[in-house]
Structure 1
């Protein structure tokens, strides 16, 4: 492996590690502040910080999107994906939540057919069946214990996949920084409305007052680490290529498992390990098939 590829892979691994660390910090706020308020504050801080950087680097013109409806769709998908994912982290072990969301690459490949007009390869169908089998294996005990809220990670993965598809539709219409600003800038106000609407409902667990300083600090930490993680993954991709970096995302599973075990006492059982192995295997199979087709086209 060339030096640039090794460096790129290291950047990507660091980025994905930061994402899992942020997820663990989100989980520490369960019981301290409602998930709706946490999501709203985290994305508001992120949107303000990223907007300030974009204004400094690219000027006011960078805030005008080429395709406003696409950016609105990206932000809405991120809103729903984040709400479901944060809610899942609150109630489920970190490793199990992360394992289920790893079905996202398979869903993206599957949905690219009807939504983008791409041909769905046989490998995609094989990977989809395998990944969903892994999801069922992980969900089964959680459904018995938690009921339908246990499917929140799967819903999160679905909306994240839709956001990735919309990312493809908006490719080349702005810098990577402006793309982050647009998606956070849409998600933040929606989440603020959701948070105050949930508070007004009076539903137990969704009402909130002014947060303590440590909640604000943790939300700010997650906003910074998430933005840093995306930047590191982007740098890694530019140095090593998307195909080489893609499998590195599975380091999130290892980090999430270690953090869940160490800080929350969530020891993954045999079913979780089996299901996660099947899901990750399906993702790697799909990646390998895509690499093979890419080599064939360029050969």
Structure 2
């Protein structure tokens, strides 16, 4: 296929991945409201690690080849950051809701852009800094600090957003020496080991219907990552990256329709500001490349 056709297929895969990840978020919100979040994330990581090891071993020839890295400390740190981010964000889903949590999370590309200079040595010009500043104004509009309606649970979403941004920057740093499959292997296995060490002490009996939801959570996690892998295999990252914001749209729709969350005006306006600033940053980065 031509690059244009590849990019079109990549966009379709990215849209599909965003939809699947939004479903995963909704299931996580349901289960974490009923059971200990450590147990939920632990079981999710068990399935994810099995999926990761299967995929990477098939591609690399063996698990040993998949795990081979020149920077193990960096890879472990990435795995720990993502594990903490997932735990905190799922907790935010329960206490803050999908709509506002994902609205805040939409600001992570702006944090990545801000960190790319000092961490990755990339040049960040004044237009990108302006977009970053405008994006953070949008986050303040979402939070409405100082007006008596700021939710302490929003701090969880902010922390999770910052952790994911740092994880993303470190992933780009790791890519300078390791293959993407190597980073994928460490992401899944480190999280599974850490969550097993913690989660087994928080085990709770689960009713039969919720085991079905747990199975769906595991399958959507693996399916979402598979779609994402295929997306980046066929398309240019810069062509599909702006479509990641559909995760916010799908997740917010789920929050409103299924969980009865409210879409407040300040959240809508702030989200539009954040997404606009983020898309400007992504498109400018694509043009520079």
Asked if Structure 1 and Structure 2 have the same fold, meaning a TM-score greater than 0.5 normalized by the shorter chain, the answer is yes
Question: In 1, are the aligned partners of 2:96 and 2:153 still within 8 Å (CA)?
Answer: no
Once the two structures are superposed, what CA deviation does each residue of 1:216-241 show, in whole Å capped at 9, x if it has no partner?
Answer: 43233223222322221232233231
For 2:23 and 2:147, locate their aligned partners in 1 and report how far apart those are by CA, in whole Å. Answer: 26
Secondary structure of 2:48's counterpart equals: helix
1:276 matched to 2:279: no
Between 1:97-106 and 1:237-246, the stretch displaced more is 237-246
Cα offset, 1:270, TM superposition: 0.7
Aligned to 1:171: 175
Q: So what's the TM-score if we normalise by structure 2?
A: 0.89
Aligned residues: 285
Aligned to 1:50: 52
Aligned to 1:32: 34
Cα offset, 1:43, TM superposition: 1.1
For 2:68 and 2:231, locate their aligned partners in 1 and report how far apart those are by CA, in whole Å. Answer: 26
For 1:103 and 1:272, locate their aligned partners in 2 and report how far apart those are by CA, in whole Å. Answer: 13
2:96 to 67, 92, 96: 92
Cα offset, 1:156, TM superposition: 0.9
2:19 to 17, 26, 33: 17
Secondary structure of 1:29's counterpart equals: helix
Q: So what's the TM-score if we normalise by structure 1?
A: 0.87
1:266 to 254, 261, 272: 261
For 2:147 and 2:87, locate their aligned partners in 1 and report how far apart those are by CA, in whole Å. Answer: 19
Cα offset, 1:64, TM superposition: 2.6
Instruction: Map 1:204-215 onto structure 2 (within 5 A).
Output: 208-215=203-210
Unpaired segments ≥5 residues, structure 1: 200-207, 295-299
Between 1:10-19 and 1:43-52, the stretch displaced more is 43-52
For 2:55 and 2:10, locate their aligned partners in 1 and report how far apart those are by CA, in whole Å. Answer: 23
Secondary structure of 1:2's counterpart equals: helix
Once the two structures are superposed, what CA deviation does each residue of 1:25-75 show, in whole Å capped at 9, x if it has no partner?
Answer: 111124310122211221122112322343345223224331211110110
Once the two structures are superposed, what CA deviation does each residue of 1:241-267 show, in whole Å capped at 9, x if it has no partner?
Answer: 111101111111211122111111113
For 2:98 and 2:181, locate their aligned partners in 1 and report how far apart those are by CA, in whole Å. Answer: 29
For 1:132 and 1:183, locate their aligned partners in 2 and report how far apart those are by CA, in whole Å. Answer: 29
Cα offset, 1:175, TM superposition: 4.8
For 2:166 and 2:23, locate their aligned partners in 1 and report how far apart those are by CA, in whole Å. Answer: 24
Once the two structures are superposed, what CA deviation does each residue of 1:195-226 show, in whole Å capped at 9, x if it has no partner?
Answer: 356x4xxxxxxxx5233333343233223222
Secondary structure of 1:266's counterpart equals: coil
For 2:17 and 2:274, locate their aligned partners in 1 and report how far apart those are by CA, in whole Å. Answer: 21
Aligned to 1:203: none
Between 1:141-150 and 1:31-40, the stretch displaced more is 141-150
Unpaired segments ≥5 residues, structure 2: none
Cα offset, 1:98, TM superposition: 0.8
